[in-house]
Amino acid sequence: LWGVPLRLRAGRQELVFGSGWLVGDNSALPESTGLSFDGIRLTYSADPVTVDAFWAKLAERGPIEEDGDTDFAGVYATCRAVQDWSFDLYWLWLPDAAARKDTLSAPFNEWLEDLIGLDDYAVTNLHTAGIRAAGAWGGFDLEAEAAYQFGDASAIGALFRPYVYGDDKADFSEWAGHAELGYTFDVQWHPRVWLGAAYY
């Protein structure tokens, strides 16, 4: 675009970042039919740095609920300044504006719930910030990734039954990570042994 190293993709497309641990096409899953997103992706690529910014629509509720959509956006940056290695930083954002407010009970009950602040939950905002390193030296290869999730989770605790209320002060605040170390033998068929671990 405009004579600079920018690329714009709009429409249905795969989004695969890093090894696909958090955002991928599900190709590693058995019998997967793949996974695609409807959205826009802007990529800046000037060796050794690549930066992707994207926005996708996960759920469109349009006529049923005003501003009740679920979206997915983020920025993913990769640096390949060291030969055979890549280092990634990213931020992902999932806003889910689907209403969790129960309107099935009697009008007086609804008025009372509004008065005392029950059964009315904020938009879910799930943020994920992470870092990843992957590379190889000799016959060894390594991948390690850590991510921290935070944000408003009050709607997650909402239950869809009258007179049962979720935790309207709930929030996301958790770590996750994974690592894998492998070794490929320099013989015919190149067998590889590996050890991996994940924490959620």
pLDDT surpassing 70 at residue 53? yes
At 82, the pLDDT band (50, 70, 90 cuts) reads: very high
Per-residue confidence (pLDDT) for residue 21, from 0 to 100: 93
Per-residue confidence (pLDDT) for residue 155, from 0 to 100: 72
Which of 58-72, 73-87, 108-122, 155-169 shows the highest mean pLDDT? 73-87
Tokens 């938009």 -> residue: 123
At 161, the pLDDT band (50, 70, 90 cuts) reads: very low
- HEC string of 89-147 equals EEEEEEEECCCCCCCCCCHHHHHHHHHHCCCCCCCEEEEEEEEEEEEEECCEEEEEEEE
The number of beta carbons lying within 10 Å of the beta carbon of residue 68 is 15
CB-facing half-sphere around the CA of 128: CA atoms within 13 A? 22
C-alpha 198 chain-centroid distance: 17
At 179, the pLDDT band (50, 70, 90 cuts) reads: very high
Secondary-structure breakdown of the chain: helix, strand, coil percentages, each rounded to the nearest 5: 5, 50, 45
| Lowest-confidence segment of 66-75, 83-92, 125-134 by average pLDDT | 66-75
**pTM (2 d.p.):** 0.83
Mean pLDDT of the chain: 87
**Cis amide linkage into residue 63, ω under 30° from 0:** no
